[in-house]
Amino acid sequence: MEKKIILSGIQATGVLTLGNYLGSLNNWVEMQDKYDCYYMIADLHTLTIRKDPEELRKNTLALLALYVAAGLDPEKNTIFIQSHIPAHPALSWVLNCYTYMGELNRMTQFKDKAAKHADNINSGLFTYPVLMAADILAYNADLVPVGDDQKQHLEITRDIAERFNSIYGKTFKMPEAYIGKVGARIMGLQDPTSKMSKSAVNELDKILLTDTPDEIRKKFKKAVTDSENKVRYDKEAKPGVSNLMSIYGIIKHKSMEEIEKEFDGKGYGDFKSAVAEAVVERLEPLQKRYNELLESPEKLRAIYEKGDKKAREITDKLLKEVYKKVGLVI
C-alpha cells in the first residue's frame, strides 16, 4: 500500500529547545517508517524578521544537523532546504491570487507578530500563511504535524486548495492535521502556562538542545512548581509540576499514574533532579552526533543536496500542472 505523505518544517532561527524535540522531532522520528516524509529547513519563513545573513546561514546548517542528530534518517526521509526549491515561492505567488485579504486579516499569528515587531510590519509577515500553504500543497501532503497554534494555518491552506480545485478541477490534496499523542505542547520552565520557545528572553525558561548537563540541571532545579510539594498531575492547578511530569513521561515512556506512584512520598527536589538526569541522558547521544555533523560540512551538503533533488522533482511536476491550469505558457 502506498504510504501517506507528511510535510513539516522548522524555522532556522536558532537552536531548538527540548519542546521542539519532544513535541516535533521525537514524533517525526517515530513516523519515518510509516509515512513518506518531507522535512524542510524553513529558511524563507525567517525573512519576515530581519536576520544577520551569516547567522541565518549558520542556523540553517545547524538545524539540518539537529534533524539528523535527533534521529531523522536521510535515507528514509526527504530533508531539504526550503529556499532551494523554486516551487515554494512560485506557487505561493499563484496562491496569493486565490487568497482573500479578509482571510489573512483573521490570522492571529500575524497580529501577534505584528505586535512584537511593530517597526517591521512587512507584507511577507501578512502573506506568510500563503507561503505555508504552498509548502504543504506543493508536495500533495496528506498529513501535516501541527500544534494548536498552527491549526489556523492548516485551515486557510485547505480553504485555498478547495477554492482552486473548485475553479480548475482537482489539483491539490486536502491535507489533514497530524497531532502527536504525546509531547504536542511542552511548556516553559519559568512560565508553565506558555509554550517553551527558543525566542524566550529568560534563558531559565527553556532547555536548549545544546545546553551542557550542568546547564540543564540548573534550569530544572530552578523550574517553577508550587507549594504542595506533591508530584501530582493537574494541568490547571499544578501547571509547573504537570509540565515536568509530561517531559519525564515522554522520555521514560511512563504514564502520569506511574510517575505519581514512583515519586509518592518524595519532594520536588528529588523529582526535579530525576527529570534533569533523564533529559541529560536522552540528549547526550544527540549532542555527540550533532557536533560530529557540524565538523563535517561535506556530509551536511550531501544530505541537503540529495533531499533538494527529490523535492524539486516532486514540486516541479505539481507547479507545471498549476501553471497550465491558470493559463501560463509552459
| Helices and strands of the chain, counted as H and E runs | 13, 5
Average pLDDT of the chain is: 92
The predicted structure's pLDDT at residue 8:
93
Share of the chain above pLDDT 90, in %: 78
Start-end of CATH 1.10.240.10 domains in the chain: 203-291
- Model confidence pLDDT, tens digit, residues 254-308: 999 999 999 999 999 999 999 999 999 999 999 999 999 999 999 999 999 999 9
C-alpha dihedral sign at 39, 85, 148, 268? positive
The residues annotated with a catalytic role in the active site are 113, 195, 198
Give the homologous superfamily in CATH for domain 5-179+297-326.
HUPs (3.40.50.620)
For 88-107, what is each residue's pLDDT tens digit? 999 999 999 999 998 998 88
Q: What is the pTM of this model?
A: 0.89
Going by pLDDT thresholds of 50, 70 and 90, the confidence category of residue 148 is low
CA dist., res. 150 & res. 276, Å (int):
29
Exposed e or buried b per residue across 22-59, where buried means at least 16 C-beta atoms within 10 angstroms of its C-beta: bbbbbbbbebbeebbbbbbbbbbbbebbebeeeeeeeb
User: Could you report how far apart the first and last alpha carbons of the chain are, in Å?
Assistant: 33
Q: Does residue 183 have a pLDDT over 50?
A: no
The class (CATH top level) of 203-291 is mainly alpha
pLDDT value at residue 122: 82
| Interval 36-45 mean pLDDT | 96
Query: Please, how many CA atoms are within 13 Å of residue 137, restricted to the half-sphere of its CB?
Result: 34
Q: Rounded to whole angstroms, how far apart are CA atoms 159 and 153?
A: 10
Residue 73 phi, psi (nearest 5)? -85, 120
